[in-house]
């Protein structure tokens, strides 16, 4: 902890962050700890203190690729990625907890920033997706139910914090600077809880209540999508768009529609567990097909704009955390039910 505190001080005034040092002095010849090792530790501490909330996109991406590998018959891949998430998820949780304790103002600043606030919602989606992995790969619904409770608690805190912080902020940027596809993480986090709810409803004594929660989150997520995508499309069509601004996070335009489709399909699979869900089955089917159509429509447009950004304007791809934003939508679209599976659910529920 003392090292973290020293590292935080090292980032102030005259000295640049240790991360920016291109050449470090060697250590002592007798093997004692030299300045290079101290600097490396300081660099790690600075990285830890500045770990963005959106880091949990790694868990989301790894989890969705793992789950998408199951129907393809790649069980070894699915299991290996599940094991990776079992290691990475608690590690990231510890890192974020340390950051919250040691540098709470940094977390608060991230929450107040239009470009970074929504990224904190990746922790909600990541927790739910890990719960899906426990159900589908480990057949452990008890752990998945505990993760569901955790993700639901985080959702309540972070979603309301996001909307309150964005609303009461006295000075707000124009949409070209403050809005991107990351805002659709409000949809992804909401629908991720809806999906996990359908997997673990049988763990509780009143599964109908859990399925009702899934229905409410499915409908709420759909409304969130309509609100957010309207703002994004307005920004795209009515304001200049530079290739540098077309970041990978805009792939969530498609990913949010895909996860809404999957949430609808999962609700149809448990349609008999809640009377209200059964009554609304036909409406759920219609909404599910609608969002599948929306997700499919986005794919060619996003590919075209990707070509425009990287080939026409020669912007070289570089390793950045935001590129995980592309993995999740692509993996989620692979898991979407499609028209044939929705048709099967239609026939099954009659």
pLDDT at 18: 33
Question: Is residue 350 a part of any domain in this protein?
Answer: no
pLDDT at 245: 84
DSSP 8-state code for residue 16: P
134 token code pair: 């426990």
Alpha-carbon distance 301 to 210, whole Å? 37
Closest CA to 191 of 7, 52, 65, 332: 332
Question: Is residue 257 a part of any domain in this protein?
Answer: yes
pLDDT at 241: 87
Question: Is residue 13 a part of any domain in this protein?
Answer: no
Residue 261 · residue 193 · CB < 8 Å: no
pLDDT at 295: 94
Give mean pLDDT in consecutive 10-residue pieces for the chain, a chain of 350 residues.
46 36 43 55 65 87 92 92 96 90 87 91 96 95 97 97 94 88 95 96 92 96 97 93 86 94 93 83 94 95 91 75 76 61 42
Alpha-carbon distance 282 to 350, whole Å? 10
pLDDT at 309: 87
pLDDT at 212: 94
pLDDT at 330: 84
Residues of the domain holding 192: 2-7+35-343
Question: Is residue 348 a part of any domain in this protein?
Answer: no
What is the domain count for the chain?
1
pLDDT at 51: 78
Using left for φ > 0, alpha for ψ between -120 and 50, and beta otherwise, residue 113 falls in beta
pLDDT at 224: 98
Question: Is residue 14 a part of any domain in this protein?
Answer: no
Question: Is residue 310 a part of any domain in this protein?
Answer: yes
Question: Is residue 349 a part of any domain in this protein?
Answer: no
Count Cβ neighbours within 10 Å for each residue of 176-210 and write b for 16 or more, e otherwise: eebbbbbbbbbbbbbbbbbbbbbbbbeeeeebbeb
Helix, strand, or coil here: 241? Answer: coil
What CATH number corresponds to the domain at position 262?
1.50.10.150
Alpha-carbon distance 154 to 211, whole Å? 19
State the pTM of this model: 0.83
pLDDT at 17: 33
Q: In this structure, is the dihedral angle defined by the CA atoms of residues 164, 46, 249 and 57, taken in order, positive or negative?
A: negative
Question: Is residue 108 a part of any domain in this protein?
Answer: yes
Structural element, H or E, at residue 214: helix 207-238
Alpha-carbon distance 69 to 80, whole Å? 11
């Amino acid at each position: 902890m003392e090292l973290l505190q020293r590292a935080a001080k090292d980032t102030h005034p005259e000295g640049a962050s240790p991360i920016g040092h291109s050449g470090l002095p060697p250590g002592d010849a007798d093997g004692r700890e030299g300045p290079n090792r101290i600097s490396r530790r300081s660099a790690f501490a600075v990285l830890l203190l500045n770990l963005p909330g959106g880091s949990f996109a790694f868990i989301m991406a790894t989890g969705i690729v793992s789950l998408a590998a199951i129907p393809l018959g790649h069980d070894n891949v699915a299991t290996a990625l599940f094991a990776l998430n079992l290691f990475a998820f608690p590690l990231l949780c510890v890192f974020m907890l340390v950051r919250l304790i040691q540098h709470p103002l940094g977390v608060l600043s991230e929450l107040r920033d239009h470009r970074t606030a929504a990224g904190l919602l990746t922790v909600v989606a990541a927790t739910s997706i890990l719960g899906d992995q426990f159900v589908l790969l480990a057949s452990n619904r008890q752990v998945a139910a505990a993760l569901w409770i955790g993700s639901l608690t985080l959702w309540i805190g972070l979603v309301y914090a996001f909307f309150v912080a964005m609303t009461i902020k006295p000075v707000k940027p124009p949409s070209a600077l403050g809005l991107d596809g990351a805002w659709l993480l409000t949809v992804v986090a909401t629908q991720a809880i809806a999906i996990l709810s359908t997997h673990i409803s049988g763990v509780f004594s009143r599964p109908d209540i859990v399925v009702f929660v899934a229905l409410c989150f499915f409908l709420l997520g759909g409304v969130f999508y309509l609100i957010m995508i309207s703002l994004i499309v307005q920004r795209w069509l009515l304001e200049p768009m530079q290739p540098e601004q077309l970041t990978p996070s805009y792939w969530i335009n498609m990913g949010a529609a895909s996860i809404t489709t999957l949430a609808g399909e999962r609700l149809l699979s448990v349609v008999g567990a809640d009377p209200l869900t059964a009554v609304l089955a036909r409406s759920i089917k219609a909404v599910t097909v609608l969002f599948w159509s929306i997700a499919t429509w986005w794919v060619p447009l996003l590919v075209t704009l990707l070509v425009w950004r990287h080939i026409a304007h020669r912007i070289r791809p570089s390793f950045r955390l935001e590129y995980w934003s592309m993995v999740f939508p692509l993996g989620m679209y692979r898991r979407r039910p499609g028209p044939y599976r929705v048709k099967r659910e239609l026939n099954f529920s009659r």
